[in-house]
Structure 1
Amino acid sequence: MPVGLVAPSAGSLKPIPGIALGVAQAGVRKANRDDLLVITLPETATAAGVFTQNRYCAAPVQICRAHLGAGVPPRALVVNTGNANAGTGEDGLMRARQVCQALAAHLGCTEQAILPFSTGVIMESLPADRIVAGLPEALSNRMEDNWQRAAGAIMTTDIVAKGRSTTCTIDGQVVTVTGIAKGSGMIHPNMATMLGYVAIDAQVPAEVLQTLLNHVTNESFNRVTVDGDTSTNDSFILIANGRHDAPRIDAVGTAAYEALYAAVAEVSVFLAQALARDGEGATKFVTIQVEEGRDRAECVKIAKAIAHSPLVKTALFASDPNLGRILCAIGYAGIDDLDVSKIGLWLGDVEVVRNGGRDPAYVEARAAEVMKQADITMRITLGRGTAHDQVWTCDFSYDYVKINAEYRS
């Protein structure tokens, strides 16, 4: 089961005026399950996106990037699960465009106003005909208060749906921020298979929205990893409904911008951590904090080296304080001038390493008790500066292998 994570409760995901969500069972891969989501936007909406850096990016990623860059106001998002439409060449692009064209015809807008997304099995032809046939059902059951069902519709190997709402106050008005995400395996965002959608009840120009999204992504989805695999389909979209009487945030750095940033970051960090808490087969949620670095980049580099180590992750699953594996990962992280004689390591509140070697007071039994906990914090000090950063991850269990061995069955 997910580590300290439950699905959003009924009514906990707050509606965003003008943004409606509809779900259908299109039979993309399996029958009798929600696998198609349509999110329609008001004409006043703006949107921004960040996407996978995998060069083998999926057809919908290529099209979504192009549509966002065309300067056409977005009118809808369409998401299918069960099929990633990646590694499908020109045929994949054609089929993704068929879906965009069909939804555009229903809504009376241009194809470029549709943003497509897919997640699921790679290198299989997208059943565009089934998706197109499912659009009327998804459009017919659209509601502003449908985020909970939408969160379930975008799942693949996830065990629980992931969603969060919060509010902030800007110019005396309450602004709601609501987001959903999916992801459990093939999670190592480099911008997140990960899809995320966050909506804001505010007026925000697209360029300001993009700046905010870039910053938030770096502090949330780019700080989480399950297995070190960057998906072909990762996409994170931020939408402002542009409601005419909602607060307007026109510039970066203003008090209004900072308030909005804090709210979007709260939702995004929760969703990012939820990916690791629901990591395939996960039994432990792990926060890796690296401090006293020369810059944040080297702190993240070391944290990710630890987080990606199969030896560290299997030791976590076994609750085995074989902590030399952590030192090994620090050493090969690629910091060429690292002075290991200054390294410190804490597991929870247990000091394990001092000045690069085993702390004289270290007692393994105390570390073993920490390793049994579901939420674990590792803290590494480098002794070379004041920079710090963190990464969130999970362990590797027997179930991780089982889930991925049986993924297509």
Structure 2
Amino acid sequence: MKIEGFSTSAVAAGVKYKDRLDIGLIYAEEPAVTAGVFTTNQVIAAPLVLDMERLKQGRAQAILVNSGCANACTGKQGMQASVETSRMVAEHLHIKEEMVQVSSTGVIGVQLNTDVFRRAMPELIAGLGPDNFEKVAEAIMTTDTMKKTVYRTVEIGGKQINFMAMAKGSGMIMPNMATMLAFVLTDAQIGYVELNDALRKAVDTSFNRITVDGDTSTNDMVLIMANGKADNPWIEEIDSPEHRKFIAGLSEILKELALMIVADGEGATKAITIRICGAKETEDAVRVGRTIANSNLVKTAFFGEDANWGRIFAAMGRSGVRFNPEAVDIYFDDVLIVKNGLAVGGDAEAEADRVLKKRDIRVTVDMKDGSVCEEIYTCDFSLDYVRINADYRT
């Protein structure tokens, strides 16, 4: 898919490794309505500090992104590097400097080498074209084992609206936001207030529902650019039918990307959906599900294909949500293993063990205390997770 008015480029500049795509550029021919969601970590990387200030205008025209160096915990020099690299883009594209968003991912505490960007900039600009979206998705990978892209068309107001989206993320993944970058391009005609509202709602039910290891990064960000090239009626009223349809389409796209991140969790062998039902409040269901999903003991049990439901119960008990343990049912896929707080017995555990041999697993916990159901998405902890993160800087 191509979206008129957007072009992309990626180069192997040698930010950290040789002969590996590591700098990407997304360019809108005209200023696009742009919204963003950023990390909630108190330690915020220099690019994000700059981006958040610039996005107050609700418009952007370019996104410069690199892997190999996070440019986080780099002080005044790191901020200057973000400003300087964005200036390079602005000068080459003949646009205003404040219209450039910058994004970095990689090792924390390492200064960004601006000379690398200066040398790469002519090739990066010359390479801009409509067919390089996948190359940019490759350029933002760190420990990812696969590119993560989604293309979608949604009909709104009788007109076709196109979406192209990419993400990176594999480890250091935990809401709110995670070690992940995501960029979405659309040709929708939509106002800033409506776009910002849609992005936040879509992120809340997608990227903010995943966890690989419980760690939240310094560089997390999601940006969406809408260049208005589609012929749809302007979406300029929150909670209008058109706005709700836009949110639904965006949410589906971001959820697909989020599930790719979970499935690509560092060393992951299982992709696991934790579904909490029968809760009184959404917050309760999410808190219980997140506590289960972040339990190292639960995650290692899944890696070992051991239906150790007691670890799930223990995680629920420390979630801070009050419930009646004697009412709880637990299912592994469709296998009921716990009923009213007690082991079902018989062949249930052996059947559950067979479920755990699958790649994609669903755990359903029925608290029988209300009508709310919510999902959290996670993966197992494997031996490879330890190896990857023990050797990350080398």
Task: Tell me how far 1:245 sits from its aligned partner.
Answer: 3.8
Q: Match for 1:156 among 139, 142, 155?
A: 142
TM-score by length of 1: 0.94
1:371 corresponds to which residue? 356
| CA offset digits 1:183-238 (Å, max 9, x no partner) | 00001131532000111111111111000000000010001111110011000011
- CA distance in 2: counterparts of 1:31 and 1:175, whole angstroms: 38
Please state if 1:27 is matched with 2:17.
Answer: no
1:332 corresponds to which residue? 318
Q: Match for 1:265 among 247, 251, 256?
A: 251
| CA offset digits 1:331-390 (Å, max 9, x no partner) | 11111x322111111111111111122225563211110111111000001111111100
2:126 corresponds to which residue? 140
- CA distance in 2: counterparts of 1:388 and 1:75, whole angstroms: 40
Q: Match for 1:58 among 17, 41, 45?
A: 45
> Structure 2 matches for 1:243-282, cutoff 5 A?
243=229, 245-282=231-268
1:285 corresponds to which residue? 271
Task: Tell me how far 1:110 sits from its aligned partner.
Answer: 2.1
Q: In structure 2, give the amino acid aligned to 1:42.
A: E
- CA distance in 1: counterparts of 2:143 and 2:329, whole angstroms: 37
The list of structure 1 runs, each at least 4 consecutive aligned residues, that deviate by more than 3 angstroms after superposition, is 244-247
Q: In structure 1, give the amino acid aligned to 2:388.
A: I
| CA offset digits 1:224-274 (Å, max 9, x no partner) | 111110011000011111227454211122222122222211111100000
Q: In structure 1, give the amino acid aligned to 2:63.
A: L
Please state if 1:319 is matched with 2:305.
Answer: yes
- CA distance in 1: counterparts of 2:306 and 2:125, whole angstroms: 51
Contact 2:161–2:230, Cα closer than 8 Å, also in 1: no
The percent identity for this pair of structures is 39
- CA distance in 1: counterparts of 2:242 and 2:230, whole angstroms: 16
- CA distance in 2: counterparts of 1:157 and 1:247, whole angstroms: 41
Q: In structure 2, give the amino acid aligned to 1:219.
A: T
Higher RCO, Cα 8 Å, sep 6+: 1
Contact 1:299–1:388, Cα closer than 8 Å, also in 2: yes
2:295 corresponds to which residue? 309
2:30 corresponds to which residue? 43
- CA distance in 1: counterparts of 2:192 and 2:118, whole angstroms: 29
Q: In structure 2, give the amino acid aligned to 1:31.
A: K
| CA offset digits 1:296-346 (Å, max 9, x no partner) | 1111111111111111111101101122111110111111x3221111111
- CA distance in 2: counterparts of 1:378 and 1:294, whole angstroms: 19
Q: In structure 1, give the amino acid aligned to 2:51.
A: C
SS of the equivalent of 1:207 reads helix
SS of the equivalent of 1:74 reads strand
SS of the equivalent of 2:195 reads helix
> Structure 2 matches for 1:78-157, cutoff 5 A?
78-157=64-143
5+ residue gaps, structure 1, are 1-13
**Which has the larger displacement, 393-402 or 127-136?**
127-136
Count matched residues: 394
Please state if 1:234 is matched with 2:220.
Answer: yes
5+ residue gaps, structure 2, are none
**Which has the larger displacement, 126-135 or 54-63?**
126-135
1:397 corresponds to which residue? 382
